[in-house]
Structure 1
Amino acid sequence: MKSTSEGKADISYESVGKFEETRFEKIHNKIFKNASEASLIVAREIAQLIVSKQAENKDCILGLATGSSPIKVYEELVRMHKEDGLSFRNVITFNLDEYYPMKKENHHSYHHFMHEHLFNHIDIKPENINIPDGTILIDALKQYCIDYENKIINAGGLDFQLLGIGRTGHVGFNEPGSHINSGTRIITLDYITRVDASSDFNGIENVPKRAITMGVSTILKSKRIVLMAWGQNKADVIKRTVQGDISPEIPATFLQNHDNTTFVLDQSAASELTRFKTPWLVQDCNWTLELKCKAIVWLCLKTNRSILKLTDRDYNNNGMSDLLALEGSAYDLNINMFNVLQHTITGWPGGKPNTDDSNRPERANPAKKRIILFSPHPDDDVISMGGTFSKLIRQGHDIHVVYQTSGNIAVTDEEALKFAEVCNDFVENDATKIDFQSVIDFLNNKSENQMDSLEVRKLKGLIRRRESYAAVRYIGLNESNIHFLDMPFYETGLIKKNPIHADDIAIVKEIIEKIKPHQVFAAGDLADPHGTHEVCLNAIFAAMGALKPESFMKDCWLWLYRGAWHEWEIHEIDMAVPLSPEEVMLKRHAILYHQSQKDRVMFQGNDSREFWVRAEDRNKHTAKLYDDLGLAEYEAIEAFKRFDY
């Protein structure tokens, strides 16, 4: 792509589809497979703009964002500086926002974020860095904000503005109710915004209630705007922003008025757009089996009919006449899809011995399978598939649960202090290799932003480990089949984790080689607030990919579970495991053994329910959907998708 000095991009985010596919969309957008691929493209546009400005001997004025969305963009810009010689000597930056009050040295500050991820690694002049100051006295704030606006104007205006988007639809910290003519100002943060930030601050009570932000008007004056959004959590607000009416209740919709804006999205963030959610309403479709299933499930829910009761008129009146013509009649189509969904249901997740398995999700042989259940955190196993876990044990399979991280960061200081005080009363120090009095002293005197000591992290990890032992003992697994990997990427002592490393992959690869499984279950739910699930899953993908030539891997199937954050949609499910009321209760009690995660969930994301409640509600909701479609009625269902690695 090319960027001219006037800021108009000769966009190589090439058109995403024909007009009829995007006719509901009011903002140009480009969809990428993942955030990494998309971030490279955005970084290249910024780099080309910088270079073109250098050629004209002009400054390049960038508006920059914080949060998780732009991190990979900044990583690529740093790489281009170090490896390709990209200079930032002509760059002047203005950040969108900052919490208020907030000291610059606080690791939650956006001043700290920007220097950590970008400014400390490039040759930008310090005097060219502008970030709202969270320490300005309240009486001086109004004039400070006016001066910030004037500084942008005097620099020549923003050539390029990088944006993320919050679940409230905020850009910068322009929360619902912000006016299109608003300028830089102090604002009160929406409760949802504070909830979303709470995991970074170890609790919503620690999240500032106010912030300084550029205004909507300031942003709209930018010559070029790119907004990035990743993940399922952003899908709803992206749909409302791209397809909805302009409204101050969704401040990002004001971007519909800007003639040089592109939304850069991954597939999950774009998933609620009409052309992805219900493509049969906007275009002719290539009717794959999965798309047929998706469409017919949608049609059943829309018409409030079960599959076998759908009529020709239902199909014709809801944009699916071409599918009906292809299949011949609603009767044949309904029967075929009913059978497809019926065949996903099994009470034998490891395969039912001595049966015809041609229409079953798992193989009958070998009758007794070696199984690895990977759990990113020490409770994901029981939260997401506790019922299936217990069935596999009862049905005689050799199942090994493998906890990939210690989970120590999710134990509150208060919980750790309680355990330390108990241990200090009853246990000699040399027996446990933890100096509990030092732990007590540390926690009682811990300051804001202070990293946990090694002793504290060891204790918190031990708490999670012992809770895991108790939970799986309750389900019925022998302790010799429990493994703790303590993957190195996680052990930073901070909420922020390290990138995946070869050592992480090697540890996962070693346990797979040791067990030689016929089945691997892994967390396919990538919506956890800090990305631990994604890193753990990528390590499994890499390890299994490296092992693929091995003979034992030819008989190994990979099943992905969800449940803690989002559940698979019906059309995505390859195996649905029904749970009895007794199994639902068993699963609940197993989850409750993770006592440190009860009542006060540190990283609950945008769902305020405790994990046992969300898991139970989602399992029951899946069962109800199957019932509504006309299939058997169950108390609850755990769902899995097979992945071809």
Structure 2
Amino acid sequence: MLSKYPLSDVEKSFFKESGVEKISTQIPYLMVDNFPKLGLLTACRFLEWAAANPEGVISLPTGKTPEFFIKWTQYLLDNWDSKKGKEIRDQYGLGSVKKPVLKDLTFVQIDEFYPISSSQHNSFYDYVNKFYIQGFGLSKEKAILINSDEIPLAQGKSYQEIFPDLKVDLSLRYREPENELEQLQQESIYLIDQWCGDYEQRIRDLGGIGFFLGGIGPDGHIAFNTRGSHIFSVTRLTETNFETQAVAAGDLGGIEVSANRLVITIGLDTIVYNPEAVAIIIAAGEAKAGIVKDSLETKLSNVFPATVLQKLKNGRFYLTRGAGVKLTDSMDAYYEKGEWTFEKTERAVIELCKKLNKYGHRLKLSDLKADKYCKLIPDLSEETVGQVMKSIETKLAKGLEKETEQTLLHTGPHHDDISLGILPHITNQLNEPTNEAHFSVLTSGFTAVTNSFVIDTLQHTKKLLDEDKIQMVNFEDFFEVGYSLKTDKDVYHYLTNVASENADARKRGLCHRVVRALVIVYDVKNKTQLRETINDVISILRKSYDGEKNPAKIQKLKGMIREFEEELVWAHFGVQVKNVHHLRLGFYTGDIFTEQPDKTRDVEPIVDLFRKVNPTKISLTLDPEGSGPDTHYKVLQATAAAVKKWSEEKDLSDLRIIGYRNVWFKFEPHEANVIVPVSLGDMSVMEDSFANCYLSQVNASFPSYSHNGKFSTVAKRTWVGQLNDIQLLLGKNYFYLHDRAKVRASHGLIFFRDMNVDEFLATARELEKSIEGML
């Protein structure tokens, strides 16, 4: 299909390298191996276009997705005539292109939250100025930007005066104002609408956008054109949907903020107004695979906004292989090319059960022969389905095996990852007294704690100090050494008050730990300094805007709150504080583009932990290709490097690596080799421990886009869904008539992969290719 469309020299080069043989989608796409390569492709195509259109109109994305687009663009411009620069240009279709000059391009800002100060570092206005206007050397005078501070409002007032709570009620467009403030708000909304119309006209007066680059949201939104946006929509002030608010929560400091913030966005028709426009959507990682499939394989529809690119001959999707893994083209290639493995047989048969909604024992040979993929199974016979069922039963049997005399080290990128991933499996291990368990969270997780949570906690701490209910500060040696003692007692007393349902005493337990943390972080020497420190932190946080990067000491304080929460969870099962290790790897900084793991700073602490614990089993998150700069992904690479280094000094032939997934990604049955039954009791333990211990997370300030609530509920739904898939293959009778009570009690299943060191390092090496080629 791609041959029907005009391909640039850059696109021809990348298409040839991709090895893709068939494209049958509604919009053409190019596919690359990894996230940095996606940035290289996009940068090359942008520079190719800019060289041919030196005074053109461009619109480029914000957020984390364009990280490598920005880095590669700057690299190529800085190294256009260097040896490496020439090699890259020759390889990817830029060999004969004259170095583009970007200063005469007109930049159009795609979208912005409203209202938000242009001086905030989490505003898109600030991002655009930092990374594009300054970073690319574009003209600020020619740029068409969205600056909330400069959009005129009623009586010349500021948005802080018109919208004092930063909420804009769009119903005022259609109803009568009820008071003087609402009258001003209504007039202001009309003025904003007029401003948006003028913004749109400025773009159209230039002939429209010539080069558009955007990401795609979990609901399919491009810019802030969410699911259901009109195909002919234009620049406007509008609300967003939950999925978009959940994604924006990280930028704005929590769903509490993003749910109440409107947006100004260019429309779908704005993007395609210029019929000659090059419009590209970029997507990376398997998390985007579902919406990519829907957007590429569906005819023009307001349900999937990106389908609007079908209007353009130069509309494209640029994808990583992970993002394209669910495309029909990719599925066809998976089954039709390469060696046929039993994994393919498993996948084809289980998917057929779902497609036909038939139990495995009811599948007929004729069903398999009629299926597009099952018919490709070598030696297809009446026994094929039975072989798949037996394989799944073997995986379930492995999940029931009793483990003894093991030293277990369970690791996670964030606090709550381990619990949400494999808690029922861990409880099985902890019930065996010959096992020793350790837990380690590898980052400090401070970005998940809101300012408001810390302020509330510190205010309550002050109240308890005033009431002399934190008596440990009265001990003579508390500020010298006492603050570091009896941390297990903190945890035990907290959980005792969970049992007695004493909410006030639980909060007091948290405040006790916060006092210890304040002494450590701020080197507090006495009660007076303690009160001053609490007041200072509250003052700093109150003056901070939501989503602002905190000072390092407040980051550490937030991280220590999360560490206390993790200790509480594992103390449910008698695990002592000394067996919960907090590594706080240095790459985790809270910046929009975080650093890559460093061998000394980030890998050596993990190796030291291995040496100290000497585990026989290590668990870790084994996510597929992510969106590039994500914490799970970087922690995996640091852990793999640590395992490799440890293997150079110790025989690890008996070490097992457990790869699990949780709420962000999940294994398909054919990918896992161990299946663990989950009972209602297991689910209750997970839900209760999450609600009682992860205090900063119960309100779900940074939720999954798939659920407006606690992550524990998302995990439970994942486990239930996995049981449904396996029940469809094995039949419900298999479960409730099984000879093992654990299986009969199954109302969910956990999938994971058990590997030896060589298998793990080979898997990690495949994933590591996604960070090769970085600058």
Please give the alpha-carbon distance, in whole angstroms, between the structure 2 residues aligned to 1:284 and 1:8.
28
Equivalence for 1:358: none
The DSSP-based 3-state class of the residue aligned with 1:198 is helix
Q: 1:369 aligned to 401, 406, 410, which one?
A: 406
The DSSP-based 3-state class of the residue aligned with 1:571 is coil
Deviation, structure 1 residue 84: 4.1
Q: 2:728 aligned to 617, 628, 636, which one?
A: 628
Q: 1:615 aligned to 715, 734, 738, which one?
A: 715
The DSSP-based 3-state class of the residue aligned with 1:175 is coil
- Residues 272-322 of structure 1, C-alpha deviation per residue, up to 9 Å, x if partnerless? 322345768x95775322211111101122233333432111112222463
Any conservation in 2 of the 1:199–1:604 contact (CA below 8 Å)? Answer: no
Please give the alpha-carbon distance, in whole angstroms, between the structure 2 residues aligned to 1:309 and 1:406.
50
The DSSP-based 3-state class of the residue aligned with 2:219 is coil
In structure 2, what residue type is equivalent to 1:447?
S
- Residues 469-502 of structure 1, C-alpha deviation per residue, up to 9 Å, x if partnerless? 221121233433221101122244x677444333
Deviation, structure 1 residue 257: 1.8
* Match status 1:313 vs 2:366: yes
The 5-angstrom pairing of residues 112-131 of structure 1 reads 112-131=126-145
Equivalence for 1:357: none
The 5-angstrom pairing of residues 234-245 of structure 1 reads 234-245=288-299
Deviation, structure 1 residue 105: 0.9
The DSSP-based 3-state class of the residue aligned with 2:148 is coil
Please give the alpha-carbon distance, in whole angstroms, between the structure 2 residues aligned to 1:373 and 1:177.
43
* Match status 1:111 vs 2:125: yes
* Match status 1:387 vs 2:424: yes
In structure 2, what residue type is equivalent to 1:29?
Y
Change (3 A) 1:157 1:461: closer
Please give the alpha-carbon distance, in whole angstroms, between the structure 2 residues aligned to 1:523 and 1:32.
24
Question: Between Structure 1 and Structure 2, how many residues are aligned?
Answer: 618
Change (3 A) 1:287 1:38: same
Equivalence for 2:40: 40
* Match status 1:98 vs 2:112: yes
Q: 1:464 aligned to 546, 549, 562, which one?
A: 562
Q: 1:194 aligned to 229, 245, 260, which one?
A: 245
Any conservation in 2 of the 1:78–1:118 contact (CA below 8 Å)? Answer: no
In structure 1, what residue type is equivalent to 2:672?
I
Equivalence for 1:342: 393
Any conservation in 2 of the 1:475–1:590 contact (CA below 8 Å)? Answer: no
Deviation, structure 1 residue 608: 1.7
Equivalence for 2:278: 224
Please give the alpha-carbon distance, in whole angstroms, between the structure 2 residues aligned to 1:507 and 1:630.
44
Provide structure 2 residue ranges, at least 5 long, that are not aligned to the other structure: 1-5, 82-98, 153-187, 484-515, 523-529, 736-742, 762-775
Q: 2:586 aligned to 488, 497, 516, which one?
A: 488
The 5-angstrom pairing of residues 568-583 of structure 1 reads 568-583=667-682
* Match status 1:80 vs 2:76: yes
* Match status 1:477 vs 2:575: yes
Please give the alpha-carbon distance, in whole angstroms, between the structure 2 residues aligned to 1:422 and 1:510.
38
Please give the alpha-carbon distance, in whole angstroms, between the structure 2 residues aligned to 1:539 and 1:169.
32
Q: Flag the structure with larger Rg.
A: 2
Please identify, of 91-100 and 35-44, the stretch whose mean Cα deviation from structure 2 is larger: 91-100
Equivalence for 1:290: 343
In structure 2, what residue type is equivalent to 1:564?
V
Change (3 A) 1:368 1:564: same
Any conservation in 2 of the 1:404–1:486 contact (CA below 8 Å)? Answer: yes
* Match status 1:559 vs 2:658: yes
Deviation, structure 1 residue 525: 4.0
Change (3 A) 1:262 1:541: farther
Please give the alpha-carbon distance, in whole angstroms, between the structure 1 residues aligned to 2:728 and 2:397.
18
Equivalence for 2:453: 415
Q: TM-score, normalised by structure 1?
A: 0.86
In structure 1, what residue type is equivalent to 2:12?
I
The DSSP-based 3-state class of the residue aligned with 1:401 is strand
- Residues 160-213 of structure 1, C-alpha deviation per residue, up to 9 Å, x if partnerless? 211212233332223344444444333333343223212321223322643332
In structure 1, what residue type is equivalent to 2:317?
F
Equivalence for 1:639: 751
In structure 2, what residue type is equivalent to 1:625?
D
Deviation, structure 1 residue 27: 0.9
Any conservation in 1 of the 2:448–2:697 contact (CA below 8 Å)? Answer: no
* Match status 1:327 vs 2:379: yes
Equivalence for 1:438: 533
The DSSP-based 3-state class of the residue aligned with 1:27 is coil
Any conservation in 1 of the 2:225–2:268 contact (CA below 8 Å)? Answer: yes
Change (3 A) 1:190 1:408: closer
Q: 2:63 aligned to 61, 67, 88, which one?
A: 67
Deviation, structure 1 residue 92: 3.0
* Match status 1:49 vs 2:40: no
Provide structure 1 residue ranges, at least 5 long, that are not aligned to the other structure: 354-366
Change (3 A) 1:479 1:347: farther
Change (3 A) 1:236 1:374: same
* Match status 1:448 vs 2:448: no
Q: TM-score, normalised by structure 2?
A: 0.72
- Residues 445-481 of structure 1, C-alpha deviation per residue, up to 9 Å, x if partnerless? 3332554345543432222222222211212334332
Deviation, structure 1 residue 73: 0.7
| Percent identity of equivalent pairs | 22
Equivalence for 2:13: 12
In structure 2, what residue type is equivalent to 1:562?
R
In structure 1, what residue type is equivalent to 2:453?
E
Equivalence for 1:360: none
Please give the alpha-carbon distance, in whole angstroms, between the structure 2 residues aligned to 1:589 and 1:188.
34
Any conservation in 2 of the 1:89–1:124 contact (CA below 8 Å)? Answer: yes
In structure 1, what residue type is equivalent to 2:436?
D
Any conservation in 1 of the 2:691–2:698 contact (CA below 8 Å)? Answer: no
The DSSP-based 3-state class of the residue aligned with 2:670 is helix
Q: 2:310 aligned to 256, 267, 271, which one?
A: 256
Equivalence for 1:26: 26
Deviation, structure 1 residue 28: 0.8
Deviation, structure 1 residue 552: 2.5
Higher RCO (C-alpha under 8 Å, 6+ residues apart): 2
Please give the alpha-carbon distance, in whole angstroms, between the structure 2 residues aligned to 1:161 and 1:67.
15
Q: 1:247 aligned to 297, 301, 306, which one?
A: 301
The DSSP-based 3-state class of the residue aligned with 1:127 is coil
Deviation, structure 1 residue 630: 1.2
Deviation, structure 1 residue 539: 1.6
Any conservation in 2 of the 1:199–1:605 contact (CA below 8 Å)? Answer: no
CA RMSD of aligned residues (A): 3.3
Change (3 A) 1:114 1:554: farther
Please give the alpha-carbon distance, in whole angstroms, between the structure 2 residues aligned to 1:48 and 1:529.
24
